[in-house]
Amino acid sequence: MVQGPCVGGFQSLSVSLVFLLLLAAKADAQASGYITATGGNFGFAGDNYPNGPSWKSGVAGFTSGAFYNFLTPTRWKFGLDARGTYSPGHSGGRVYTGAMRVSFIPERHRFRPYAELGGGYATTQFGQPNCIGSLCGTETHDISGGVLMLNAGLDIRATPQLDIRVFDYTRDTAGSAGFTSPAVRSFSAGVVFHRRRPGLSSP
């Protein structure tokens, strides 16, 4: 049961990454990749949760992805981002998203704040009591669906090819009404690697 959503999610992320690679190859853009350690909560939202999402216990995992900033004459940079998040265990899950990205590159400071708006797919396990006569246990199944992603973060330039991702806060919620849909909130930190292009400064 878990294998189907996992495979579908990896296929969705792969398609997104290939699309971004093709787009960046044809456009005037700069490529960067990142990997971060992630902590947060998976949970459930929808019509069954009128007071907001119900969160499971906290979990750790990792997030990896790539983004492309299109070159502009201003300090504001616009681009695209594709990422995948994985956290193991019953309280964990998977998220695969693509987003539009806006960031600000100060002239003399190393701070690089950014924000993103996008969407994608999330999956996590739902457990409920199941009794047969006097024998009771917990039945689990996957809750999967589309999500709307909002996130904001801050990178600090360390070298022309390396940034430190100080924080990235992400909130993924159900993209449409339904009785039970996945929800995710996470905080992550890690490193960002920039690909140099001849004649261009780093993003």
Q: Which domains does the chain have, with CATH numbers?
A: 3-194 (2.40.160.20)
> Is 8 a residue whose pLDDT tops 60?
no
- Contacts for 131-136 with beta carbons within 8 Å, 24 or more apart? none
Mean pLDDT, the chain, integer? 82
Q: What is the pTM of this model?
A: 0.79
Confidence of residue 4 (pLDDT cuts 50, 70, 90): very low
What is the pLDDT averaged over residues 105-130?
87
Q: Which residue has the tokens 């300090």?
A: 75
Q: How many CA atoms lie within 13 A of 17 on its CB side?
A: 14
Give the pLDDT score at 133. Answer: 64
Percentage of residues of the chain with pLDDT beyond 70: 73
Give the pLDDT score at 2. Answer: 37
Give the pLDDT score at 60. Answer: 97
Give the pLDDT score at 198. Answer: 54
Contact 182, 124 (CB under 8 A): yes
C-alpha of 135 from chain center: 40
Contact 80, 99 (CB under 8 A): yes
**Who has greater pLDDT, 8 or 177?**
177
Confidence of residue 179 (pLDDT cuts 50, 70, 90): confident
